[in-house]
Structures are given as C-alpha cells and as structure tokens.
C-alpha cells in the first residue's frame, strides 16, 4: 500500500519518468578537491571555534561562511556518508536518487495517520553529506512577501525578520543564470535580475535553466488566463504569487545538480574547515547555561562515544526531524515528555518538536483524449522513438527532455482565486475556531497560544490573494492533476521515542487533516482543479477527461472520502519543530536564532520556520543559513573584542 502511494507521488513529481541513469550521466569527472575530510574521530582536534551538527543544506552553508576568512576553525559532524555518485548529479527527473531503494534517505515511517484511515507515510529526508539538498527535486522558488513578514509579525512590527531584510541573503545564496535561447523567447520566460537575484560574483548555489521545455507547458499556462484574479509575476522570486516560471538548482556549465556540497564544500581546500561524516551527535554538552560542545557516536550505532569542544558556539543544523530530537535528548523540550523518557530537564521549552508542518498533496488525475502536442507522459518511457530523440539531444548537447529536472512552471494561488464564493466563509470559520481542540490533548498553553496566533494570521491571509495555498505543477508532457497544499492548518509533532530515546528514530506524527477546515479547503481545491481542466476553452481541443476520482464523485462527503484515501502528508518539506517565536508563544529560538534560556546554542535549519511558506523550502533554507552566518560572525567578533 505504502509503496503504491510512494510510486504515485514520485510519478507525479517526476512527471512519470523512469530511466536508466547510467546511460545519461556517463563521463562526468569524479575528482573533486575538498576541505579536510576526517574518517577517524581520533583525528579531530579537541576543540573548534564552531561545531556544526549536521552537514546538510544549512550546515554546510553556514560552515563555509564561518570558515571563509581562515580566522575560525569549524567542525561539521554529519550522520550520513560523503558520497560522490553520478545519480546525485543527474538532473533528469531530479529525484533520481530516490528511485533506487531509498539508499540516501533515513528509514523513518510516520505513526498511523488518523485522518488518512490510519495509513502511515514515509519521512523523506536526506542522510548524507549535503542532506536533503543532495536528493531534492531541484525546484527553486521563493515564498511571497507575506510568508516572511509573518515570521517577524510574531515579534513586533519592526522585527528584522521581514521580506525586505531577507532579500540580500537570498541574493547572496544564489547565483542566477538567465534562461538560454531559444527556450527563453520560445516560452516567453521573464526574470528580474536587479530586483530578485542581484549579481552574485562569489559562491553560492546555481539557479539556472534547462535549454529545452515541453511545448505542452504553453497551453497549461494559457488556460490560467481564463481564470479571474490570476496574476503572472515577472519572476519567481519577486515576492508575489500567480503563474510563473522558476529555475532549477543546477550548474549550467555541465547540467548537474548544484547543492550544499558542491556550493559550500567541494573545491574549498581549507585546513580550518573539517568534516566528519558517518557520525551522529547524541547530545549537546553544557557548562551552566552555556553550550560547550557535543557528544557523538558512530552513525552505524556502534557504542563508542566521543566528544568535542566548541569554543564559540554549537550550531544545530540537523533538519526539522532531527534537530528537535537532539534538543530533547539534551534535556531541552516539553517537560512531561522528558520525564517519561527519564531525561533530566535542562530547559523546559514546550514547543520543541511541536508545530510540525509539511506540504501535503492531493492526487487527482486527468488525461487529454486528443493529445497531439506530445506523447502522453504515461507512455513516454515506452515510446522508443521518443527515448531515442531525448537521448540524442542529451548526448550531443546536454539538452532536451533529459535536461529537465522536476519542471520549471506552475501555479501558486491564494484562496480567493481558488474559491471566490467561499473563501470569506472559510476565513470567518477559522477566526471563530477554538483551535485548542485540534492540537494533541494536553498541549502546553504556550503551544496553544502559538497555534492561535498562527491561525489568526492565516485567517487574515486567507482573505487575500497573497498567501499561496494551491500549487499545480505544470507537467512536462500531459495533464496530471497533482495538487500541493501550501499552508495547511493542521499541526503535527516530532517526539523522541521514550522507550528508546537515543538509538530509535523520533516518532513523527503529521497529524494530517486534524484541523477539519483543511478538508473544506481541499474540497475547494478539487472543484477548482476540475473547473481548470474541464471548463477551459483553451484546453477543450485536447478533450480533457478526469480519471481520478471520476465524474461520479461530486458530493462533499464523497470528495472527503476520496481525499482521505488519496492524500499524501508530505512533499518532502518538513519545517516548524524548533520555531523562531517568542518563548511565551512556544518558541524555541529567538530572533537571533539562539535557543531560549541558553547561551551559545543556535539553530539554523528548516525547523526554525514558525509558519511554512508557499513554495518549496530549499532556497529559503539557504537564505536563513546565510543570515545565520552573519549573526554568528557578528557575535563572535563582539565577544572576542
């Protein structure tokens, strides 16, 4: 059952691509200069200025920036291996690493989901150097202004966490290359380098474009012109939503994945930047309230323990699933949970591991009966003429369908556009809701206050176009209907397993659909998606037809039943479990990303999002890490002078 769901989800995100990577990625050079890689814990120094927990997306980015001037020593401890393999670099379909038996991922399943008739779902996160950026779909976009202004709004009107202030860090994080001709003019792809990307002449992750697009994208785009209220922003990163083009995180020179390892580790040759792969941090060490180092053990579970000292700071970058685990193991978290696990309470922070959010998705399906633009996606891999055509383009010039990652266009829409008749009633209902009923029983009052503040903000935003809730990926070749839900109301939990806190993976509960208004919004999504495909004058010549759930499923009760049977709790974007919020709102870190109540312990990964954003998460994680480096360096200078 789960396997089937995963395949459906993958096929939706991969646009049904199944291929033979060996034939595509041959000939890529393998020798790469690195900073210092340690394979034996005996080789590490007894102390570093900074110890970074997790060599993933955020961890490598911050380590690179902190080590840059040669002034500070940095050690990154990463649970997973350092892997140089062609399937990580292949752009085609972008999720190639996952088509193999999940070899680069953690093996974690969620607890049974009550909202999904007790089905479980896999947790998709990378377990290797580069973290999730090494295996992700390579889609890169930026949320709307309201997404980032909301983070600051929980603090004050003048918080420095706002869109305007984060923009320079987005620019520092990414190196933009415009789309090549003729794809730019052929598809009328627009962009705004001055306002959105800047001219990054330093280092960063590449945002560039495939030199090919499927002709069918145009008609999907044009069909949106029929829908009232849809805007077409000039660039994916301008802070407004609508229907737009977005780049791929790929190195345009050789059409390979650009990620935290290639941008912030490979080629650096720095003696002050050490990486220890294959080791897992189990505890943060303190003297009084000051973090002074970490305890770690081999990632394979062997029970030798080691420790290392951090002179300036310990930086937690283990991602939204494991950062709360490391905190809880260190005695920082909800008191009742720590007591059950027999862990002495260092600082009671009820929000650690709560407020868990992801972007769930709904798999409707549509087909064009009269599809003359291009072979249908489902047939693409069995069509030998097509495969030969694609292989020729790739082998000669690294172009064609095999140069496309997970796609470069889609719709990102607010509730008033999706549901012009019901959005106000839905927002009113959320405003009036007693939200405490939808959190786990016994939730701490601070966690309830946090949820209330978030839902008040969402209710206001649901009345504007500016908070993206609905995302349709434009498929390479044909209709599909997979829809991502970008600001779900339900909140989950990530807690240590109290019977085996240290070696067992944490218990992840998406609590998907626990807030009943989510179902109401998803019913609106289904009605809108039908309208888009089936009432469109633009699409009519293609004779679209709904294949799932089918035209006989119309009542709200039947739509709800379909949702509960066909909902996937994740599109791989876990966030929120160590939220940057005031302590009285269940927050875990303050505006400087320092853990409340402690000194010299910072969290910089996707767990600090207080509320999720209306796009894929990676570009924002890079921007946060870039800002974190500035905050950390500022404090390091200050404390040493």
Ligand X SMILES: Cc1cc2nc3c(=O)[nH]c(=O)nc-3n(C[C@H](O)[C@H](O)[C@H](O)COP(=O)(O)OP(=O)(O)OC[C@H]3O[C@@H](n4cnc5c(N)ncnc54)[C@H](O)[C@@H]3O)c2cc1C
Q: Cα separation of 313 and 632, whole Å?
A: 8
Q: Which of residues 396-415 bind ligand X (CB under 6 A)?
A: 406
Check if the beta carbon of residue 621 is closer than 8 Å to that of residue 336: no
Q: Is 254 in the site for ligand NAG (CB under 6 A)?
A: yes
Closest CB to ligand X among residues 143, 375 = 143
| Secondary structure (H, E, C), 587-601 | CCECCCCEECCCECE
Q: Which of 339, 543, 584, 630 binds ligand NAG (CB under 6 A)?
A: 543
Q: Which of residues 562-581 bind ligand X (CB under 6 A)?
A: 572-573
**Minimal CA–CA distance to 84: which of 24, 145, 128?**
128
Q: Which of 162, 433, 436, 547 binds ligand NAG (CB under 6 A)?
A: 162
**Minimal CA–CA distance to 261: which of 37, 61, 50?**
61
Q: What is the DSSP string of 61-106?
A: HHHHHHHTTSSS-EEEE-SS-----HHHH--TTS-HHHHSSSTTB-
Q: What are phi and psi of 589, to 5 degrees?
A: -120, 155
SS3 346: coil
Closest CB to ligand X among residues 126, 237 = 126
β-pairing, 122-123 vs 174-176, is: unpaired
146-to-137, 468, 602, 612 alpha-carbon distances in Å: 25, 10, 25, 11
147-to-104, 607, 629 alpha-carbon distances in Å: 31, 15, 22
Site string for ligand X, 278-297 (x = CB under 6 A): --xx----------------
Smallest distance, ligand NAG to C-beta of residue 118, A: 4
Q: Is 375 in the site for ligand NAG (CB under 6 A)?
A: yes
Q: Which of 78, 235, 251, 509 binds ligand NAG (CB under 6 A)?
A: 251
For the CA atoms of 127, 130, 131, 132, what is the dihedral angle to 10 degrees? -120
Annotated binding site for FAD: 57-58, 136-139, 281
Smallest distance, ligand X to C-beta of residue 52, A: 9
Q: Cα separation of 164 and 141, whole Å?
A: 16
Check if the beta carbon of residue 373 is closer than 8 Å to that of residue 539: no
Q: Is 547 in the site for ligand NAG (CB under 6 A)?
A: no
Q: Which does 383 bind (CB under 5 to 8 A by kind): ligand X, ligand NAG, none?
A: ligand NAG
Q: Which of residues 175-234 bind ligand X (CB under 6 A)?
A: none
User: Residues touching ligand X: how many (CB under 6 A)?
Assistant: 44
Smallest distance, ligand X to C-beta of residue 98, A: 6
Positive/negative CA dihedral, 190, 418, 536, 225: negative
Smallest distance, ligand X to C-beta of residue 322, A: 3
Q: Which does 298 bind (CB under 5 to 8 A by kind): ligand X, ligand NAG, none?
A: ligand NAG
Q: Which of 318, 415, 519, 633 binds ligand X (CB under 6 A)?
A: 318
Smallest distance, ligand X to C-beta of residue 137, A: 3
Q: Which of residues 181-210 bind ligand NAG (CB under 6 A)?
A: 199, 201
Q: Is 70 in the site for ligand NAG (CB under 6 A)?
A: no
Q: Which of 90, 127, 208, 272 binds ligand X (CB under 6 A)?
A: 127
For the CA atoms of 287, 291, 292, 298, what is the dihedral angle to 10 degrees? 120
Q: Is 79 in the site for ligand X (CB under 6 A)?
A: yes
- To the nearest 10 degrees (0 to 180), the angle between helices 517-534 and 556-565 is 100
Annotated binding site: 57-58, 136-139, 281
Q: Is 504 in the site for ligand NAG (CB under 6 A)?
A: yes
The number of angstroms, rounded, from the C-alpha of 91 to the middle of its chain's C-alpha atoms is 18
Check if the beta carbon of residue 454 is closer than 8 Å to that of residue 501: no
β-pairing, 409-413 vs 242-245, is: antiparallel
Residue in the block written with tokens 């790929």:
250
Site string for ligand NAG, 279-308 (x = CB under 6 A): -------------------x-x-x------
Q: Which of 370, 456, 639, 640 binds ligand NAG (CB under 6 A)?
A: 370
Widest Cα–Cα separation across the chain? 72
Closest CB to ligand X among residues 377, 621 = 621
Closest CB to ligand NAG among residues 10, 219 = 219
Q: Is 545 in the site for ligand NAG (CB under 6 A)?
A: no
Q: Which does 55 bind (CB under 5 to 8 A by kind): ligand X, ligand NAG, none?
A: ligand X
Residues that bind ligand X (CB under 6 A): 53-59, 77-80, 95, 98, 124-127, 131-133, 135-140, 280-281, 317-320, 322, 326, 406, 572-573, 605-606, 616-619, 621
């Amino acid at each position: 059952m789960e396997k089937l769901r995963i395949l459906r989800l993958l096929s939706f995100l991969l646009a049904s691509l199944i291929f033979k990577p060996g034939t595509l990625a041959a000939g890529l050079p393998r020798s790469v200069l690195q900073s210092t890689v340690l394979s034996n814990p005996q080789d590490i120094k007894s102390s570093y200025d900074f110890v970074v927990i997790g060599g993933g997306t955020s961890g490598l980015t911050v380590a690179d920036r902190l080590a840059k001037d040669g002034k500070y020593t940095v050690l990154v401890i990463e649970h997973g291996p350092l892997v140089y393999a062609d399937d990580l670099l292949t752009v085609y379909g972008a999720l190639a690493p996952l088509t193999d038996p999940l070899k680069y991922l953690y093996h974690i399943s969620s607890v049974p989901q009550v909202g999904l008739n007790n089905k479980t779902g896999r947790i998709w996160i990378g377990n290797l150097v580069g973290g999730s950026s090494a295996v992700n779909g390579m889609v890169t976009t930026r949320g709307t202004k309201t997404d980032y202004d909301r983070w600051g709004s929980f603090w004050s009107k003048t918080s420095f966490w706002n869109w305007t202030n984060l923009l320079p860090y987005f620019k520092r994080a990414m190196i933009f290359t415009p789309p090549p001709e003729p794809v730019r003019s052929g598809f009328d792809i627009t962009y705004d380098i001055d306002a959105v990307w800047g001219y990054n002449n330093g280092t960063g992750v590449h945002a560039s474009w495939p030199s090919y697009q499927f002709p069918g994208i145009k008609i999907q785009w044009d069909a949106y012109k029929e829908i009232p209220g849809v805007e077409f922003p000039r660039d994916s990163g301008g802070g407004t939503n609508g229907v737009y083009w977005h780049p791929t995180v790929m190195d345009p020179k050789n059409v390979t994945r650009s990620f935290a390892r290639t941008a912030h580790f490979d080629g650096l040759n720095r003696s002050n930047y050490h990486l220890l792969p294959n080791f897992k941090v189990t505890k943060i060490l303190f003297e009084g309230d000051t973090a002074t180092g970490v305890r770690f053990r081999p990632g394979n579970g062997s029970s030798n323990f080691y420790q290392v000292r951090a002179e300036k700071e310990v930086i937690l970058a283990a991602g939204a699933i494991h950062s709360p685990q490391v905190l809880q193991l260190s005695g920082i978290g909800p008191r009742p949970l720590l007591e059950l696990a027999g862990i002495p309470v260092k600082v009671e922070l009820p929000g650690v591991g709560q407020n868990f959010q992801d972007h769930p998705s709904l798999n409707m399906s549509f087909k064009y009966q009269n599809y003359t633009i291009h072979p249908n996606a489902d047939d693409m891999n069995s069509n030998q003429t097509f495969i030969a055509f694609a292989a020729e383009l790739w082998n000669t010039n690294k172009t064609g369908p095999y140069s496309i990652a997970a796609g470069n266009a889609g719709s990102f829409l607010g509730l008033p556009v999706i549901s012009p008749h019901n959005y106000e009633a839905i927002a009113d209902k959320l405003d009036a809701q007693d939200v405490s009923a939808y959190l786990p029983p016994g939730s701490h009052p601070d966690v309830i206050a946090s949820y209330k503040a978030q839902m008040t903000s969402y209710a206001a935003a649901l009345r504007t176009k500016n908070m993206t809730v609905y995302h349709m990926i434009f498929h390479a070749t044909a209709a599909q209907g997979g829809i991502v839900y970008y600001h779900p109301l339900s909140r989950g939990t990530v807690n240590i397993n109290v019977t085996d806190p240290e070696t067992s993976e944490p218990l992840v509960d998406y609590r998907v659909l626990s807030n009943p208004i989510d179902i109401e919004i998803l019913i609106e999504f289904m009605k809108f998606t039908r309208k888009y495909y089936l009432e469109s004058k633009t699409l009519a010549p293609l004779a679209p037809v709904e294949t799932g759930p089918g035209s006989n499923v119309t009542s709200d009760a039947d739509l709800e039943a379909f949702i509960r049977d066909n909902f996937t709790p994740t599109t791989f974007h876990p966030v929120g479990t160590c939220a940057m919020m005031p302590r009285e709102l269940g927050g875990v870190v303050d505006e400087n990303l320092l853990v409340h109540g402690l000194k010299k312990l910072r969290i910089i990964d996707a767990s600090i999002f207080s509320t999720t954003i209306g796009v894929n998460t990676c570009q924002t994680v890079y921007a946060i890490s870039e800002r974190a480096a500035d905050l950390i360096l500022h404090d390091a200078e200050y404390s040493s002078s």
